[in-house]
Amino acid sequence: MKDKMLVTTTENIKNYEIESVIGEVFGMTVQSKNVFSNMVAGLKNIVGGEIRSYTDMLEKAREESIDRMRVNAAEMGADAVVMMRFDSGSISTDMVSITAYGTAVTLKEKE
Sheet holding 6-7, edge to edge: 6-7, 80-92, 95-109, 16-32
pLDDT value at 101 more than 60: yes
Q: What is the pLDDT of residues 48-100, one digit of tens each?
A: 667 777 788 889 999 999 999 999 999 999 999 999 999 988 877 777 899 99
Domains assigned to the chain:
2-109 (3.30.110.70)
Is the model's pLDDT at 6 over the cut of 80? yes
